[in-house]
Amino acid sequence: MKLMDTQNIIEMLHITKEFPGIIANDDITLQLRRGEIHALLGENGAGKSTLMSVLFGLYQPEAGEIKKNGEVVKIHDPNDATALGIGMVHQHFKLIDVFTVLDNIILGAETTKMGFLQKKEARKKVEALSEKYGLKVDLDAKVEDITVGMQQRVEILKMLYRDNEILIFDEPTAVLTPQEIDELMATMKEFAKEGKSILFISHKLNEIMAVADRVTVLRKGKCIGTVETKETDKQSLSNMMVGRPVQLEVVKTPAKPTDVVLEVEGLTVPSKGHKRNAVNDVSFTVRAGEIVCIAGIDGNGQSELVYGLTGLEKCSGGKVTLCGHDISHASIRRRGGNMSHIPEDRHKHGLVLDFTLEQNMVLQRFREPSFQHLHFIKQGAVREYAEKLIEQYDVRSGQGPITVARSMSGGNQQKAIIAREVDREKPLIVAVQPTRGLDVGAIEYIHSQLVAERDKGRAVLLVSLELDEVMSLSDRILVMYEGEIVGELDPKATTVQELGLYMAGAKRMTKEGDPA
Amino acid sequence: MKHKGSNLLEKDGTRAVLASLISILIGLVVGAVIILIVGLSDPELGLSGAWDGIRLVFGGLFSTGRSASGTLTFGFNPTNVGNMLFRATPLILTGLSVAVAFKTGLFNIGAPGQYLMGTAATLMLALGIPSKSVPAGLIWIIAFLGGILAGAIWGCIPGLVKAFLNINEVLACIMTNWIAANLVTWMFDGSKYRNLVENTKSGYIYKTSFNGVQTPKLGLDKIFPNSQVNGGILVAILIAVLVYVLMSKTTLGYELKACGANRHAARYAGINDKRNIVLSMAIAGALSGAAASLYYLAGNTEFFWSTYQSLPATGFNGIPVALLAASNPIAVIFTGCFMSMLDIVGLQMTNLTAYNEYITDVIIAVIVYLSAFSLVIKMALGKWGKRKAAAEKETAPVVPPDTGAADGKGGDEG
């Protein structure tokens, strides 16, 4: 045991942190060894972020102690943490948008001579670090102008610039494309090889299995256990996390597609920022009883395609037919008559965050006679309906129907949107990244809902960036690349590798469907 | 956060009311302190003069003058209350105008312009339609509706500019204010409505009573003798209730609020966001127009027509009225009355002490600042309430965490 202790660079022993009404961390012990990648796994609200905030000095625990190299340390604020060599990449980046990348990196640790900034030295050091780890950034670009992936690299460089040896990554992959995730994984492994220790917060099992040495699982504020990734598998990890056996694979019977519900011919949507069209001459159909998935790397026109279909943006050409009606120029409201839409951005489009849950539940239906009489909203009917949906779709919230949507957790906000949209019982469901940022339990639920809707004879158009989701959920895959559909694949007959080639634009089919 | 009943401070409504009351109290206290400083620095006033002033600040509404021995007397003063209600009438309506816009995510700083346009339309109609051939009651209604319409049209302009050109409504409102000020001056400049009969009133437009048009008293003059009060206050209260019903009970109110809270989500749900922005500015404008109509249709009020250099304070005072009421239409009735009470206090000060009415301007100014600050006070109250609840909980058994929602920091929002 003595030997073990010296291996641990950071030990968090019996940490307890309470908030009014909730114990966020209940007697949690976490030991981080030197040079390891240690994953912290748990569902939304399991207490992962709280534990890391304790380590980073943002919260003071009610009980427990933190040791570094075997010695008890007190971390009162992030400055103490930095002094101990602890750095953190937060889930929501802490960058100043109007500063340049270089300014952001040195902010708070500026080298000065007689009160004047010595940017040259700083630049040299940052350039060396960026070179060494292959973290490509444009030092003179403003943060607001660079991609999310590059912003994350800036955050990582910030930690390296401060010579941190303990690196905390809070949900680092939530905002990245598959390629960027691979790069990040490689970088993390590189750090570990050099003897830096990494704490990796995630609820994505694939990533944890790929990169972590050990995993500590939290559930509802309690520590369930720490295991070696070599000695475990995804299934047992997810069971530990959720507390019950979880269905990781989507169970579904072969699709029995019937009539065409949605027909898109030559749809073109102009781009906001570029001269080139965001969606260029796209044609496809979706039939009742099938799940068609639009796959592709983020930013290849999927969002704009959905905007064009749902009416959020005007199309510049092409024809969209829904249930036999030409809706190319119809209003959003008219299109909504035959279409449910689970939007990509739940905060921007999906919910009115300052409305209560019940008000959000009728966002699409408040004009229907069952919810209004002579333009007066039937308060009782709205409450009853919201309670029904909350019950049926297991939407959890503090005060039920009168909870303000903003105060709900991300997973439950998404469940509320799905409840609202699925319950409208429209022939077509457009679901854009319906499981983004959600944990295993919620994903399992949403997938089973979409399959159930398909089996009821609805047409489902799914847009997803997650390859696993694309492969397991869809009946047909359409790959989008640079605003065009470059391939139609059968998930049963294709491989992730082949899909990847289409997504990267390395391979494409001709219009007739033959590989070119 | 799920403590029901145990702590009133955790209820949003209670906090809003308390925050407004605190703002008002601080404003009055600051006024009192200034009175004290002025009193002590002026030998003619002295401490006793200052004490009189302070008592009037807090109880001016109930001042009944001075007794034979020269001390201030207090009691129910129906004239004061009646005048307060009279002056509150337009303030309630401009307050509603600002409140409706706030509720829909817009800042209607254009109330003065809408008020001026309402004034112009009302006066032109009330004085222009000959009462010999048209019954006065009908003229009243036409002039009232005309004022509302003019205000609505003037409110539409910033709404249209915002909806279709995405230009901030504050900018457009400020510009339309000054356009209205000049337009109204120009319209009355060569008109036949300038008061030529009473030669001391050369800068004024005729009272509507010159044409036999005035708001009926509806018996209120019996309750509040010697005051200017008329049926307008009842109309204003009725409109406040209607606005409340519109905003919280109807589909239109739901749409307007959805657009205000999240324009994108409203659009996603098939709500016509552009139409709603224009509509909510039109409603706001209509309310400001109605404020002007009711004020000038009273029959005893005169309009100083040369407005090109000044905007009516009633329009701007709608902002603190709405802020103090936290944009609640029913609360606006009370905050409107409170603001007009300060006017009465100012009058009492001028009449009964050596102070002048400008001291109430100071109080109003402090309250205006603090009413913008009342959100901060509200948040502080919330924190205080939570701490109190947490302290109470020490002894109570810990509630098991029911959702991840309670744990804001632990949520993994994508």
Could you tell me the CATH number of the domain that includes residue B213?
A: 1.10.3470
**Which residues of chain A form CATH 3.40.50.300?**
2-242, 247-338+426-516
Domain match, B34 and B137 both: no
Q: In this structure, are residues B374 and B323 in contact, taking their beta carbons and an 8 Å threshold?
A: yes
Residue B112 has what pLDDT? 96
Does a structural domain hold residue B184?
yes
Q: Which residues of A touch B261 (CB under 8 A)?
A: 352-355
Residue B391 has what pLDDT? 61
Does a structural domain hold residue B404?
no
Domain match, B262 and B156 both: yes
Q: Which residues contact B184 (CB under 8 A, 6 or more apart)?
A: B116, B117, B119, B120, B305, B307
Q: How confident is the model at residue A214 (pLDDT cuts 50, 70, 90)?
A: very high
Does a structural domain hold residue B179?
yes
Domain match, B309 and B252 both: yes
CB contact under 8 A, B1 and A21: yes
Q: Chain A interface, mutation test: which of B268, B395, B399, most A Cβ atoms within 10 Å?
A: B268
Q: Which residues of B touch A303 (CB under 8 A)?
A: none
Q: Which residues of A touch B250 (CB under 8 A)?
A: 375-377
Domain match, B222 and B369 both: no
Domain match, B33 and B98 both: no
Quick one: closest CA in A to B104, which residue?
Answer: A354
Domain match, B43 and B92 both: no
Mean pLDDT of A249-268: 92
Residue A322 has what pLDDT? 95
- State how many domains chain B has: 2
Q: What is the pLDDT of residues A25-70, one digit of tens each?
A: 999 999 999 999 999 998 877 888 889 889 988 888 989 999 999 8
In whole angstroms, what is the distance from residue A353 CA to residue B375 CA?
Answer: 19
Choose among A22, A352, A399: nearest Cβ to B401: A22
Domain, as residue range, for B262:
83-340
CATH 3.40.50.300 fits A2-242, yes or no: yes
Residue A353 has what pLDDT? 93
Q: Which residues contact B12 (CB under 8 A, 6 or more apart)?
A: none
Which of A72-86, A235-249, A368-382, B290-304 is predicted least confidently?
A: A235-249
Joined together, the tokens standing for residue B305 give 């027509």
Q: Chain B interface, mutation test: which of A363, A382, A415, A424, most B Cβ atoms within 10 Å?
A: A363
Which of A390-394, A416-420, A433-437, A507-511 is predicted least confidently?
A: A507-511
Q: What is the pLDDT of residues A301-339, one digit of tens each?
A: 999 999 999 999 999 999 999 999 999 999 999 999 999
Mean pLDDT of A191-220: 90
Q: In this structure, are residues A84 and B405 in contact, taking their beta carbons and an 8 Å threshold?
A: no
CB contact under 8 A, B405 and A409: yes
Does a structural domain hold residue B399?
no
CB contact under 8 A, B410 and A399: no
Of B295, B315, B340, the residue that ends a domain is: B340
**pTM of the model as a whole:** 0.79
Domain match, B90 and B42 both: no
In whole angstroms, what is the distance from residue A127 CA to residue A124 CA?
Answer: 5
Of residues B85 and A181, more confidence is placed in B85
The CATH code of the domain at A247-338+426-516 is 3.40.50.300
Inter-chain Cβ pairs, chain A and chain B, closer than 8 A: 162
B384 inside 8 A of chain A by CB:
no
Q: Provide the shortest C-alpha distance from residue A125 to chain B (in Å).
A: 33
Domain match, B180 and B213 both: yes
CB contact under 8 A, A398 and B269: no
Does a structural domain hold residue B178?
yes
Does a structural domain hold residue B410?
no
Q: Which residues of A touch B271 (CB under 8 A)?
A: 333
CB contact under 8 A, B2 and A21: yes
In whole angstroms, what is the distance from residue A269 CA to residue A434 CA?
Answer: 23
CB contact under 8 A, B251 and A372: yes
CB contact under 8 A, B403 and A377: no
Main-chain phi, psi angles of A322, to 5 degrees? -125, 120
Domain match, B33 and B141 both: no
B7 inside 8 A of chain A by CB:
no
Does a structural domain hold residue B200?
yes
Does a structural domain hold residue B45?
yes
Domain match, B211 and B322 both: yes
Q: Which residues of A touch B401 (CB under 8 A)?
A: 21-23, 45, 220-221
In whole angstroms, what is the distance from residue A367 CA to residue A88 CA?
Answer: 48
Residue A513 has what pLDDT? 53
Choose among A45, A376, A396: nearest Cβ to B407: A45
Q: Provide the shortest C-alpha distance from residue A348 to chain B (in Å).
A: 6
Residue B69 has what pLDDT? 82
Domain match, B210 and B242 both: yes
Domain match, B368 and B330 both: no
Residue segments in chain B with a per-residue pLDDT below the cut of 70: 1-11, 199, 385-414
User: Any idea what the Cα angle at residue A344 is, between residues A338 and A348, rounded to 5°?
Assistant: 100
